[in-house]
Structures are given as C-alpha cells and as structure tokens.
Amino acid sequence: MPYNRVSIFGSGSWGTTVGSLIARNASALIWGRNSDTIDEINQRHTNSRYLGEIPISKKLAATTDLRNAAKQADALVLALPSQSFRLILDQVKEQIRPEVPIISLTKGIELETRMRMTEIIAELLPQNPRGVLTGPNLAKEIIAGSAAASVLAMEDQESINDLQKIFHNSLFRVYTNHDVIGCELGGVLKNIIAIAAGIGDGLGAGDNARAAVITRGLAEMSRLGTAMGGESQTFAGLTGMGDLVATCTSTQSRNRNVGIALGSGMNMEEILATMFMVAEGVKSAPAVMALAKKYSIEMPIVEEVFGVVQGNRNAKDALKGVLRAGIGSEAEPN
C-alpha cells in the first residue's frame, strides 16, 4: 500500500534529518515538544538547536499536537529517546490505526524491561507492522547532502518494499533486511563500544588501540547478538561493522565524545550537565550488562565501560582492562 502521510515523532537531529528525507517522497509531519523548535522548522526551515543553520526540506511540516500527528499517519517513524519511547507511544496508541507500520530510529534498550524498541511496539500495538531503520548515519552529514547508506529491517516483508521508497533517494541508499533483532542490537551495542573507543582517544592511546577496541568490540556485539537471536552476518554489515566504525571514529559521535571526556578526566555528572542530546550508550550500558549475564556472554569491553559510567572505575584502569581483554585466542571469547 502507498504511505502518503508519514508522521515522525521526535524533532532532534536524527528525527529532523529523516523527516527531511521523507518529505522528498511523501507528506511528512514531525512532532516535537519544544514549540520554538517547531516554529523554526515551519517558518525558517532549520533546526538550529540540533543541526545548526543547515537548511531542511521546506516540505517538512511540524507540530506540537502529538495525537493529531498519530491519527493522520499512514506510517509512523519514531526518533525518541529509549527511556521515553514507551511513554510517548502509549499516549497515542488509540489514535494509531492497526495497519499503520511503525519504524523505530532509536538505538537503545529500555532499562527497566531490557526490551528493544520493536519489542515495546509489539507489546503496545501487536497488530501493527514494525521495524527499524539503522546504520552508519551521522545526521549533520546527511542533512548537508553527503552520501550515506542505511538498513530498513522488518519481519513483515509485504510492507518493506513500499516503506523503503519513503526513505530512499540517490544520496541516502536504503537496503532491506529481515533480521530485526540483529539490526536493532547492532545499533544499541555499538554505542557502548564507541564510549570505550572515546576513552582511548581521550587518554591518547592511539590508532592501534582504537582499532583493537573496534575489532574486539565487534566480537562482543556478535556474541550477544547471535545469542539473542540475531544472525551473525548482520554484524558484518552496515548495521554492525559499518555503524560501529562510524560511531567510534567520528567527531560527531555523541557516545565517542562522552568517552573522550571520560578519558580526559571528567566524571559522568559533569559530562551530562554539558549535554542536551542523549548519548544512548550511557543509558543502555546497565541493560546490556544484564542481558550479557542473562545469556552468559562474556563482554569485557562493555563491562569496563559500565564500570566507568557508573562511577565505579576510572578511565585509565578501564582502558587497561579493555586492552588486556584480548589475551588468548582471537577466535574464542576473551
């Protein structure tokens, strides 16, 4: 079926960027809480708080009316912080028609339940098709017109081809995948590894150490991801290795920047006081550690990052722990 009207929940950097992409292919309406941001999108066609003065599509409309945005949508795209995802979706579930597909852009785990975002959608709206759009996608580059690729993953293969068309264009290539679990977990887990990479950068550990963190981090991601039902090849693709490399190396990566600040001697309270955008790796680390324990998966890098963000370990000792974790056979868990 055609998806003529698409509503996007979340007017941050990525929600606005994806809304601007969608506006090229369909009628797009973005919802946000901040009336100043909404007015700016409608009147100036910018979102300076999150994207600076880079222009966004003039076809992208914006609103603070959450229920109306849900009611009129033929498809919903959710770019919400993981810990408020359930609350916002629950407020409008009565306004969402059962045939409307719901696509998550959120790369996080709900702390209390340890659920992925598509699992929350399934719990609240079991009749609705659901999926995830994820990959190595840095918002400011994409909104400025740089080329990028992403992956749309859904179990419902009947809807996926039509939905692919609302995101895809010549510079933003959208591939499809059926492995929702693997794609979604790749986006979650790479954020924690990026904090570890940032800690190394903050301590001046060098390129070799960063490469070790990325490579061993990918092994940890793959172990937990396959134990939870994802497919191993997914972690070698855009939503695994691709997203991991981008997040561990880019100056635009919030999670890497958190790690750099930790490596430079700041504590989490000081870092969070300076941030107005969510670094999902910080929020997800406790839930991922609980999942690793549940599935009996060794994740030494994630464990070290968890210790630092909880204030139980200093960054220098954590980096030593990360680099020691690789001793043994590369093919076996270490």
Q: Is-catalytic flag, 93?
A: no
**171: which 2 tokens?**
């510079």
Tell me which of 302 and 159 has the higher pLDDT.
302
pLDDT single digits (tens) 169-192: 999 999 999 999 999 999 999 999
Q: Residue 114 pLDDT more than 70?
A: yes
**315: which 2 tokens?**
């960054």
3-state DSSP of 155-223? CCHHHHHHHHHHHCCCCEEEEEECCHHHHHHHHHHHHHHHHHHHHHHHCCCCHHHHHHHHHHHHHHHHH
Lowest mean pLDDT among 44-58, 177-191, 257-271: 257-271
Pairing mode, strands 148-154 and 130-134: antiparallel
Q: Residue 206 pLDDT more than 80?
A: yes
Q: How far apart are CA 185 and CA 163, in angstroms?
A: 21
pTM of the entire predicted model: 0.93
Q: Residue 212 CB: number of other CB atoms within 10 A?
A: 19
User: What does the pLDDT average to over 314-319?
Assistant: 88
Q: Residue 332 pLDDT more than 80?
A: no
Set 140, 165, 190, 293: catalytic member: 190
Residue 330: what pLDDT? 60
Pairing mode, strands 61-63 and 75-78: unpaired
DSSP assignment letter at 237: S
Q: How far apart are CA 326 and CA 304, in angstroms?
A: 13
Q: How far apart are CA 300 and CA 306, in angstroms?
A: 10
Residue 313: what pLDDT? 87
Alpha-carbon 179 to chain mean position? 16
Residue 334: what pLDDT? 55
Average pLDDT, the chain: 93
Q: Where are the alpha helices (DSSP H) in the chain?
A: 13-22, 35-43, 48-51, 66-71, 85-92, 117-124, 139-143, 157-167, 180-202, 207-227, 243-249, 254-263, 268-273, 280-294, 300-309, 315-324
Q: What is the CA radius of gyration of the chain?
A: 19
Residue 273: what pLDDT? 84
User: What does the pLDDT average to over 264-274?
Assistant: 88
Confidence of residue 326 (pLDDT cuts 50, 70, 90): low
Confidence of residue 158 (pLDDT cuts 50, 70, 90): confident
DSSP 51-73: HTT----TT-EEES-HHHHHHT-
Q: Residue 327 pLDDT more than 60?
A: no
Alpha-carbon 27 to chain mean position? 24
All residues at 6 or more sequence positions from 72 whose CB lies less than 8 Å from its CB, including other chains: 5, 7, 29
Residue 331: what pLDDT? 58
Q: Residue 269 pLDDT more than 60?
A: yes
Lowest mean pLDDT among 71-75, 124-128, 252-256, 276-280: 276-280
Domains of the chain and any CATH numbers: 5-178 (3.40.50.720), 185-324 (1.10.1040.10)
